[in-house]
A and B are shown apart, each in its own frame.
Chain A
Amino acid sequence: MDKVIIAENLSLSYKEFETIISKASFSIDAGSFVFITGASGSGKSTLLKSLYGAIEPRGGQLVVGGVKMNKISTSKLNFLRRHIGIVFQDYKLIKEWTIEKNVMLPLIISGYTKEVSDPQIQKLLSHVKLTHQAGKYPPELSGGEQQRVAMARALAHNPILILADEPTGNLDEYSSEVIWNLLEGANTQLKTTIVVVTHRVPSSISVPYKHFHIEMGNIHEIA
Chain B
Amino acid sequence: MKSLKNHISLIVALFTVLFAVQIYVAVDRTIDAYETRLKNDYSIIVVANKALTVDEFKAMDSIIDRSEPIATDQVLQRLKGEMAPKNLELLKLTLPKFYRIYLSRFPTPEEIAKLQKRLEKNSSIQRVEGYAQTHDTVYKLMLLFKDVVQIFSIAIAAVTSLLILKEMRLWQFQHAERMSIMALFGAPVWLRSAVLFRLAIVDAIIATILVCIAFFIFEENGWMDMLLRTVGITIDLFDFLHDGIRSLIIALSVSIILTLTIVIGNDEEE
Contact = CB atoms under 8 A, between A and B. Distances in A.
Interface of A: 52, 54, 75, 77-82, 84, 86, 92-96, 105-106, 108-109
Nearest to A107: B185
B3 interface: yes
B187 A78 contact: yes
A215 B177 CA distance: 32
A43 B70 CA distance: 99
B151 interface: no
* List of 8 A-B pairs having minimum Cβ-Cβ separation, nearest first: A81-B186, A82-B186, A78-B186, A109-B187, A94-B178, A106-B185, A92-B181, A109-B185
B224 interface: no
B184 A109 contact: no
A96 B3 CA distance: 9
19 contacts: A54-B184, A78-B183, A78-B187, A78-B188, A80-B186, A81-B183, A81-B184, A81-B185, A84-B186, A86-B184, A92-B181, A92-B184, A94-B178, A95-B177, A105-B182, A108-B191, A109-B186, A109-B187, A109-B191
Given A82-B186, A94-B182, A109-B186, 6 more contacts: A75-B188, A82-B185, A92-B181, A93-B181, A105-B181, A109-B191
Q: How large is the interface on B (under 10, 10 to 19, 20 to 34, 35 or more residues)?
A: 10 to 19
Contacts of A82: 185-186
Nearest to A97: B178
Q: Which of A86, A93, A95, A109 has the most B CB atoms < 10 Å from its CB?
A: A109
A54 B181 CA distance: 12
Contacts of B3: 96
B207 to A, nearest CB: 22
Contacts of B186: 77-82, 84, 106, 109
A77 B3 CA distance: 31
Interface in B134-148: none
Interface string B174-207: 0001100111111110010000000000000000
